[in-house]
Structure formats: structure tokens, C-alpha cells
């Protein structure tokens, strides 16, 4: 390998040298978003998010398109998802600080790490498990596990009556370092539900070639029906 080739490889390392840009890639792994939404979800100013996105665009890790006055960004292909999965795996194996930071950020709540997705799918189809996607609705619509219901974490309390009491509930969000499912499981357990967390998210699904779907959530079948009116 000569210097010119090494310099091209180093472009990716330079693009990922900022934690903010790694965060933006993780959010884009959930689906396409306009710049304004990326700024909001990442806690950055619009100007700062735009600057970081331009760096990722120059490294061909993201692509964009215009829709009216808005600029929408997305990952530049499935290879970028695989790259993110490899990056996470390498960091976890080489850096003890990853586990330390994760322990400080998340509580352990009976994960289903290493779950066989085919077995999980069978249990969902058999009605033994209710699978909840607690990410925002637009992330669910972009990509979700088959049979999952969209129940964003900030709306969970208002929709508890949609959930059956006699089935196990498995909640997932953006991946192993996302706290949304952790909080959802804790809330469900406080309310008397049998609940666990699936640590996988879109990055892991791509790595394991798990089948996903897109589109809006179906209407829950457990919603209480109004009592018939008396004549």
C-alpha cells in the first residue's frame, strides 16, 4: 500500500474522529431524516449538525437529497451499516471504556442478547410475545422487526391499555446503547407487566441479516371496546 491509498483509507477515520458524527451516523441508521430533525434528536445546533453532516458527506458515508427547502440525509448504503456494526464490535473488544461507559449509561434489565430472531418471530406470530418498538414513529416506519408494534417511549404510559396482561412483552429501540427500551421495560415492570429488553437495533439487524419491514404500525388488537349502548 502506498501513501496515496493509505490517505484515502484515512479519510474514513478522519470523518469518525468526532463523537458528534458517530452519533449522527447512529441516528441515520434508524432512517432518513432532515437536517433540522437530526439537530433536534442529537442535541446540536442546526449550524453544528450541518457542518458535521458535510464532513460525513465528503467521506461518502452519507448521501442527501432536497425536498422543497429541506435537505434530507441518509446513510450512503448498506455497506455503511455493516461498517458501523464492525466499528462497534471492534470498540467493544478493544476498549474496556466502552463497557464502563455503557454501565454508567444503562441499567441491566434482563437483555435478550444473542436471541434467535427466528424463534422470537415464531413467538410473536403465536401470540406468546408482544414486540414493542419504542423509537419515534418515523424510525419505526423506516425499518422495524416483523410483527412489532410502534409504541414510542414518550407515549407508553397513555397506551398501556393496548397491551395484554397475559403475554410477555419485549421492547427494543436503536441498539445496545439506547436507553429508550431500558426506560420502557422499567416502566412496564412497575405497572405489573412481564417485560424484557431486546438489545438489537438496525445496525445489528444488518450485521445478522435479520428480515425487517417498513411502513406504519398496525392498530393494536387489545384495545378495549366500548360497552354496547342499552336501548
Please count the residues of the chain: 231
Residues lower than pLDDT 70 in the chain: 107-115, 218-231
- Residue 217 has a pLDDT of 73
Active site residue 178: no
- Residue 112 has a pLDDT of 56
| Residue 96, number of CB atoms within 10 A of its CB | 9
Do 173 and 134 meet the contact criterion of CB atoms below 8 Å apart? yes
| Residue 50, number of CB atoms within 10 A of its CB | 16
Helix axes 35-42 and 19-28, enclosed angle (nearest 10): 120
- Residue 220 has a pLDDT of 58
Residue 230 within a domain: no
pTM: 0.77
Residue 81 within a domain: no
| Residue 37, number of CB atoms within 10 A of its CB | 17
Structural domains counted in the chain: 2
- Residue 139 has a pLDDT of 92
Residues 64 and 144 in one domain: no
- Of residues 106, 129, 156, 173, which has the active-site annotation? 173
Residue 130 within a domain: yes
148 phi and psi angles, rounded to 5 deg: -75, 145
Tell me the C-alpha distance between 160 and 225, whole Å: 15
Range of the domain at 135: 98-208
* CATH value at residue 111: 3.40.250.10
pLDDT (tens digit, 9 = 90+) per residue, 84-140?
A: 988 988 998 888 888 787 777 776 555 555 567 778 888 888 888 999 999 999 999
If you ran DSSP here, which 8-state letter would residue 215 be given?
A: S
- Residue 22 has a pLDDT of 95
SS3 label, residue 199? coil
Residues 122 and 56 in one domain: no
Residue 217 within a domain: no
Residues 110 and 61 in one domain: no
Amino acid at each position: 500500500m502506498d501513501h496515496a491509498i493509505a490517505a484515502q483509507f484515512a479519510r474514513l477515520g478522519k470523518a469518525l474522529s468526532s463523537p458528534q458524527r458517530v452519533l449522527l451516523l447512529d441516528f441515520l441508521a434508524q432512517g432518513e431524516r432532515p437536517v433540522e430533525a437530526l439537530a433536534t434528536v442529537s442535541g446540536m445546533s442546526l449550524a453544528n449538525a450541518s457542518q458535521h453532516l458535510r464532513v460525513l458527506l465528503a467521506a461518502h458515508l452519507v448521501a442527501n437529497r432536497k425536498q422543497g427547502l429541506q435537505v434530507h440525509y441518509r446513510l450512503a448504503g448498506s455497506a455503511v451499516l455493516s461498517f458501523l456494526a464492525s466499528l462497534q464490535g471492534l470498540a467493544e473488544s478493544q476498549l474496556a471504556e466502552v463497557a464502563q461507559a455503557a454501565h454508567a449509561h444503562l441499567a441491566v434489565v434482563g437483555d435478550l442478547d444473542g436471541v434467535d430472531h427466528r424463534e422470537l418471530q415464531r413467538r410473536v406470530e403465536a401470540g406468546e410475545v408482544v414486540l414493542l418498538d419504542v423509537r419515534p414513529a418515523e424510525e419505526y416506519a423506516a425499518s422495524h422487526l416483523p410483527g412489532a408494534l410502534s409504541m414510542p417511549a414518550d407515549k407508553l404510559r397513555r397506551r398501556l391499555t393496548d397491551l395484554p396482561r397475559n403475554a410477555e412483552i419485549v421492547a427494543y429501540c436503536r441498539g445496545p446503547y439506547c436507553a429508550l427500551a431500558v426506560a420502557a421495560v422499567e416502566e412496564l415492570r412497575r405497572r405489573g407487566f412481564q417485560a424484557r429488553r431486546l438489545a438489537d437495533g438496525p445496525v445489528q439487524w444488518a450485521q445478522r441479516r435479520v428480515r425487517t419491514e417498513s411502513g406504519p404500525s398496525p392498530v393494536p388488537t387489545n384495545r378495549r371496546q366500548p360497552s354496547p349502548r342499552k336501548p
